[in-house]
Amino acid sequence: MIARMTVPGYLRFAVLTFVSVVLYGYTGSEGFSQNLSSSVQPIRSSQYSVPASSAIQGSNKVTASNVLPANRKARHGKGLPGTLPHPSSTYAASTLPRVFAPTRPRTTYTRYPWKRQIVTTVFWIGEVPTPKNPTPNHMSAWDRNWANNFGGFDDPDPSARAWDFRPKAFIPGLNPFYIALPYTDIRPGATGTKVEAPHVIPWFKKKYQQAGHTVLKGRWLAIRKGSRVCFAQWEDVGPFVTNDYSYVFGNSRPKATGNGGAGLDISPAVRDFLMLRSGERCDWRFVDVGEVPQGPWRKYGTNNDFTQLQGQTKPQEDERLAKLREMRDAYIRNMPLPR
């Protein structure tokens, strides 16, 4: 005879309840439902609001992310406890990280803003004096041997230009993409640095070496005409004036009145790249070396930051290979001889 096992009633009820919840969802006894209702308040339609954006293809689709307690939305837009804030809430906008994903090149730069609609004229190394340009261009404000260092006359005739915007007659010793702006930081006679220079030139402290030595020569600019952007180096001073720092580094317009109030001189290479005629308007701004992209402006010139880097590449590579050979030879010498 097999003895029958007596199972307490409360244990049978617990087991049956568990099975019902797992298989069918709980629909248990009235007494148990009353206990649940005493601890969990029922959801009332007036307690929650549904954003209008949740209507998808004509239906009100409600999800956990877009159903919010009305009283919670009134308090800083917070959602249910333990859930992420709704994307439209003030709380979400102030706490979630923001990600910047640019889809097009910058048109402004907080450090060096664009100077817009500047009358631009063309000049060139070796240019002879004329009534409109009384200053000869065989030397610059910072280089007494400018034409010789460049390698000759930078002929502006379009038929005398090569496909990469340099003069056809020779390989230039300096960058053919050059410009002039109406300010110099050196006092007349190269007797020292102007008093205002440390206060108006943004990069003065970083580039300053000694009194009378310019911190402007070779600085890169971006010049924009329509959808085309060219890059060039600051190599001379003009047009017409040499002290217009409020325009060059500030927000003023050029104070020169000649040539229609011109505020920028560009070389034939810059002219041809931008397809610009002398007297037309363009935009320009200063740029850091790291902003200068690939282009013909990086190809020529001992004054060019990028040709200088290319010249350093081979010696550095040779030095690295020599060290690797030394390490290889030392490793071979220390290898145990085979028995």
Q: For residue 245, how many other CB atoms are within 10 A of its CB?
A: 20
Give the pLDDT mean for 62-91: 44
CB 303 within 8 A of CB 169: no
Q: Is the Cα dihedral 238, 283, 269, 296 positive or negative?
A: positive
Q: Of the candidates 47, 77, 73, 50, which has an alpha carbon nearest to the alpha carbon of residue 63?
A: 50
Give the pLDDT mean for 253-276: 95
83 — pLDDT class (breaks 50, 70, 90): very low
What tens digit of pLDDT does each residue of 213-241 get?
999 999 999 999 999 999 999 999 999 99
More confident call, 6 vs 156 = 156
The DSSP element (H or E) to which 245 belongs, if any, is helix 245-248
End-to-end Cα spacing for the chain: 85
Does the structural domain 115-307 have CATH classification 3.60.70.12? no
For residue 43, what pLDDT is reported?
41
Give the rounded percent of residues in the chain with a pLDDT score beyond 70.
63
* Cis? peptide before 239, omega within 30° of 0: yes
Burial 192-208 (b: 16+ CB within 10 A, else e): ebbeebeeebeeeeebb
Return d(Cα 121, Cα 180) in angstroms, integer: 10
Give the pLDDT mean for 117-129: 94
Distances (CA, A) of 102 to 93, 106, 162, 231, 303: 20, 8, 36, 22, 33
List the beta strands (DSSP E) in the chain: 48-49, 55-56, 59-60, 68-69, 115-122, 178-181, 220-225, 228-237, 264-266, 281-286
How far from the centroid of its chain's Cα atoms is residue 323's Cα?
37
| DSSP for 190-205, written as a single string | S-SB-TTHHHH-TTHH
222 strand-pairing partners: 231, 285
Give the pLDDT mean for 74-95: 45
For residue 8, what pLDDT is reported?
63
251 — pLDDT class (breaks 50, 70, 90): very high
Return d(Cα 221, Cα 17) in angstroms, integer: 78
What tens digit of pLDDT does each residue of 141-172 get?
999 999 999 999 999 999 999 999 999 999 99
270 — pLDDT class (breaks 50, 70, 90): very high
For residue 161, what pLDDT is reported?
97
For residue 163, what pLDDT is reported?
95
Over the chain, what is the mean pLDDT?
A: 76
Tokens of 119: 């009358």
| DSSP for 146-208, written as a single string | HHHHHTS-----GGGB-TTSSBTTS--SS-S-EEEESB-SB-TTS-SB-TTHHHH-TTHHHH-
Q: Is the Cα dihedral 144, 146, 148, 153 positive or negative?
A: negative
For residue 301, what pLDDT is reported?
96
For residue 159, what pLDDT is reported?
96
Q: For residue 213, how many other CB atoms are within 10 A of its CB?
A: 15
For residue 37, what pLDDT is reported?
42
Return d(Cα 158, Cα 162) in angstroms, integer: 9
76 — pLDDT class (breaks 50, 70, 90): very low
- Looking at the predicted structure, is the pLDDT value of residue 66 above 70? no
For residue 265, what pLDDT is reported?
97
